[in-house]
Homo-oligomer: A and B are copies of this chain.
């Protein structure tokens, strides 16, 4: 599929190499590609916000975006992360309810909004893909809620790591398999993570090290976590869904297939 996308890709916009876009008919992909412009942003740059008039639909190529809401007192609450293949932007004139900021240096693919919507009318498949994409985001938002509703920080950290293992497993370089252990790269710093999990960096640090002391994880570097006991993590998080949907075995299979 990636090859097919490459063929129709004129602007170096590797649409379809990831995400649900791959399943679109070739014409649609070609048309999408023709209205696509690649843009890059440095870490920290605000890409889209309630006040920004940036009027495009975006698709993440590389890097991490964070969706956040800024509180009146300047604090920010992060309500989600966008990774490779995720889409964002305002459709159908709806005001953007979150602002989108680059968490790392990013490369996104931008579509002119009105032209994108025209394609939406033209290709029902695209329309439905968008719907499914949004439904996925909804599920993810609920996953975050589950994590946040855990009272202990330890549990929230555990849940976060699990999300990293499941949702971000197939994309990117977040997850490796080394000597039979899962190595997870935490894509954001402690400050962002604290905002995401509704806590403070100090508590995060303590939680990570508590999990390490109990042998559930190893902290190889602050942003590189080795998971020793996935089931124990799941128990810590109280997560039912994740562990049942995607067991350790499935993960291993996925990783072996990818590393081969």
| Chain A residues proximal to chain B, CB less than 8 Å | 67, 69-73, 75, 77-80, 91-92, 94, 97-98, 121, 124, 127-128, 130-132, 134-135, 137-139, 141-142, 144-146, 148-151, 195-200, 234-235, 238-241, 243-244
Residues A98 and B142 in contact, CB atoms below 8 Å apart = yes
Are A69 and B148 closer than 8 Å at their CB atoms? no
Beta-carbon contact of A149 and B148 below 8 Å: yes
Instruction: Give Cα A145–Cα B200 distance, bound, in whole angstroms.
Output: 16
Q: What is the distance, in angstroms, from A83's C-beta to the closest C-beta of chain B? A: 17
Docked Cα-Cα span, A72 to B244, in Å, equals 9
**B240 contacts A69, C-beta separation under 8 Å:** yes
The contact of A240 among B70, B127, B138, B198, by CB within 8 Å, is: B70
CB contact under 8 A between A142 and B69, given known A128-B92, A131-B131, A151-B198: yes
B145 touches A79 (CB 8 A): yes
Query: Is the CB–CB distance between A138 and B145 below 8 Å?
Result: no
Question: Among B130, B145, B150, B196, which residue has its beta carbon within 8 angstroms of that of A141?
Answer: B145
From B97, B134, B235, give the contact of A131 (CB < 8 A). B134
Given A148-B148, A148-B149, A148-B198: 16 more A-B contacts, CB < 8 Å: A69-B142, A69-B240, A72-B239, A72-B240, A77-B146, A77-B149, A79-B146, A92-B132, A97-B139, A121-B124, A131-B131, A131-B134, A141-B141, A145-B148, A149-B196, A150-B198
| 3 A-B pairs closest in CB distance | A149-B198, A141-B141, A148-B148
The smallest C-beta distance from A202 to any residue of chain B, in angstroms, reads: 12
Given contacts A69-B240, A71-B238, contact A134 B132 (CB under 8 A): no
Could you write out 14 A-B pairs with CB less than 8 Å apart?
A67-B142, A71-B238, A71-B239, A72-B239, A72-B240, A72-B243, A73-B238, A98-B142, A121-B124, A131-B131, A131-B134, A134-B135, A149-B195, A150-B198
Residues in chain B near residue A151, CB distance under 8 A: 198-200
Q: Which of B132, B144, B243 contacts A145 (CB 8 A)?
A: B144
